[in-house]
Amino acid sequence: MNKMKEDFKLDSLPKHNVYQVPEHYFDRLPTRVMERTTAAEKHIPAWQQGLWVSLRAVAAPLVLLLVFVGVFFFNVQDQDKDEFAAVQPLAEQEILDYLHYNEDLETADFAELSYLTKQEFTSDFLNISSTAAEAELEYYHIRNIEE
Amino acid sequence: MEDKEILDKFSNPESQNMAFNQLVRKYQQKIYWHIRKMVIDHDDSDDLTQEVFVKVWKNLGNFRQDAQLYTWIYRIATNECLTFLTNKKKRFFLPIHDVAAELAEKIDTSPDISGDEIQLKLQKALLRLPDKQRLVFNMKYYDEMKYEEISEILGTSVGALKTSYHLAVKKIEEFIKRD
C-alpha cells in the first residue's frame, strides 16, 4: 500500500463511485419532484401568508372599531344639526319677539339663559348678540330670580 | 426524448407535466451525482436535487434555447451546491477546513459510502480543494465533460479551467502520497 502511495498517479486509479443511494431512489424521485412542482404552483409566498394571518387576527376588532367610530360621528353630526337647525334660519328680531311675548316661558328657562351668559355661549346658542340677550335678562329681572 | 422535443411539449399546457417528468427522468442521475459529490450527504443531496428541479420547473418557460438544456440545469445545480456549502460554513462559523473535516468524517462513517482505502482517500483529498476547484475536477474527471461545457456552466475561461484541473490533480496526488 505504501509503495502504491509513493507511486500514486491519478490516471492509474480506476474510476469508482463510492456513494450509494437507497433502493429505488431514482424510480421515486420524479414523482416526488412532480409533487413539489404541483405544490409550488399553488404556493402563496411566505410574506403574503404572514400578511393574511395578521390581517385575519385584526380584521374583526378593526371592523368593530370602524363601526363604532362611524356610528359615533354620525350621531354627533346629527345632534349638531338638531340643535342649530331650528334656530339658525330665525332672524334676531324674531327671537327677541318670541322672548318678549311668549307667555309660556318659565323662570327656569331664564335661569338657563343666565348660566349660558356666564359661559359666554349666549350668542352662539340663541343666534343673537350677547347685548340683546343681556337686555332680555334684565327685562325679566333675572337677578331677582337668582336671589 | 430529445431536449427540443421536451421543450416543445413543455410549452404546451396539456403536455407540460408529461414533458417535465421526462426531463427529470433524463437528468436526475447526472444532477444527483453532481450534487452528491459536492455535499457528500445523501439527504442533503436529495433536498438539493429536488430544489434544482423545482427551479428548473419555474424557469423553464424563460429558458433561451440558444444554450444547451443540460448545461443550464448543471449551472442551476452548481449554484445550489455552492450556496449550500457557503451557508453551511456561515451557519457554523467554521473555517473552510472544518467543514471539509465534517464531510470527511461522513465519508468514514456513513453507511451509504463504501469503497477501498485508496478510493475513500481520494474523496477525502477532494474535500481539501476549494469548492470551485472541486467542481472543476468532478466535472472533468468523473463526468468527463469538455472544458468548453464546464466553461459555459461556471462562466470561467477554458484556460483557467485547464490550469485549475491540473493543479487539482497535483494536489490530490500529493495528498495521497503524503498521507
Each residue's pLDDT tens digit, A97-136: 777 676 566 666 656 655 555 555 555 556 666 677 677 6
Query: Same CATH fold, B115-179 and B1-114?
Result: no
Quick one: pLDDT at residue A86?
A: 62
Architecture of the CATH domain B1-114: Orthogonal Bundle (1.10)
Domain residue spans in chain B?
A: 1-114, 115-179
Which of A19, A22, A40 faces B58 most closely, judged by CB atoms?
A40
Position A90 pLDDT exceeds 80: no
B141 has a chain A CB within 8 A of its CB: yes
CA distance between the termini of chain B: 47
pLDDT at B43 (0 to 100): 96
Residue of A nearest to B112 (CA): A20
Cα dist from B166 to A17, B115, B163, whole Å: 21, 25, 5
B49 to A29, B28, B57, B103: CA distances (angstroms): 9, 8, 12, 18
Residue tagged 378593526 (cell numbers): A62
In degrees and rounded to multiples of 5, residue B175 shows phi and psi of: -60, -45
pLDDT given at position A49: 57
Average pLDDT, integer, range A8-23: 90
* Per-residue pLDDT at A87 exceeds 70: no
Task: Pick the range with the lowest mean pLDDT from A12-26, A34-48, B126-140, B165-179.
Answer: A34-48
The pLDDT, as a whole number, for residue A103 is: 55
Chain centroid to Cα B34, Å, comes to: 3
3-class DSSP state for residue A13? coil
CATH of B115-179, one of 1.10.645.10, 1.10.10.10, 3.40.800.20, 3.30.420.140: 1.10.10.10
Q: What burial class does residue A60 get, using C-beta atoms within 10 Å of its C-beta: 0-12 exposed, 13-18 middle, 19+ buried?
A: exposed
Q: Which long-range contacts (CB under 8 A, 24 or more apart) does A117-124 make?
A: none
In B, which residues are within 8 Å of A18 by CB distance? Answer: 107, 113-115, 119-120, 123
Nearest CA to B45 out of B59, B31, B55 is that of B31
Per-residue pLDDT of chain B (179 residues; tens, 9 = 90+): 788 999 999 999 999 999 999 999 999 999 999 999 999 999 999 999 999 999 999 999 888 777 789 999 999 999 999 999 998 887 766 555 578 888 888 888 888 898 888 899 999 999 999 999 999 999 999 999 999 999 999 999 999 999 999 999 999 999 988 87
Calpha distance B2→A61 (Å, rounded) = 59
* Of the partner residues B50, B114, B115, the one whose CB lies closest to the CB of residue A32: B50
